Structure 1
């Protein structure tokens, strides 16, 4: 099939029905004709929303990795846990493969993803090079689904439920920052689709 023709089509993520892309008015949505799933929407504030959400998420991500997540009172001694110390402890204990994977999924890839969202928004707003914006889009498409911080947060909550009756647990600022970051990241990924980012790229650079 012709590549230009493919650029005018979109497939439903739920039922795989093929649709032609049509121009929408501001703040309107296109739904699948078969299952009524959301295909895409026209958001006049897409760039500003992306900058605001990604900047906020980046701030809370930095806080969650810079301070203590939870303090554990263990038989009279205090243990402090945060992401960097946990990763360093894994490497010091010889768990290099586990430490490497957790470093990628809990720190490196989430930081890259949220930074690319921010850089892409700034690139659109300031009219930076189209080649630079395209490179950011391709990178974002490949890494954005590998963010595992939400799973890490769930594992912390499960561990807390099991340990709360055995040890004294004190939540610190990084724990609440981690929750806010995860919520912002989920909202960002759900409200700003790759389809809309590519459409914005086409409007600005082609």
Structure 2
């Protein structure tokens, strides 16, 4: 015979005493910061570097525009918010890519995909959000449908986050979106 139907655990976890008990525990912590696993970022970088496309070997930083001015020049609105939403992981991605041997190859392949989409944008006079959205979709398609993707268990949200972070990294290296021409100034608007 039990003197009490309560139980305590030393680590403040749920303890149950008695028979036919049902415990439902929901914990929603909106303030908890989600940190993407380094292996997920590395895996996505590897997938991008292994995409079977030809790319241009030129890797230049001749035009490195101010980020917000470049967004405005390219008529980007939605992706400013998306990149801002994921920007807390930028340092982590940058650190990972510093030791990643195929970084240059990966950046060039992202740029090549971007340039293919940029042709369509120019022909149809579309905004920069269209280009970035199509680039995201193309990268995700290439990554998720590769035959060897099943080797690592990644959540769809982790794949999305890694792609957004890598796109933002490539953007900061001035490899996607048109640079602001030198003759363009805010006074011309």
Range into which the TM-score falls when normalised by the shorter chain: under 0.3
Q: Structure 1-normalised TM-score?
A: 0.24
Greater percentage in helix: 1
Q: Structure 2-normalised TM-score?
A: 0.25
Greater percentage in strand: 1
Larger radius of gyration: 2
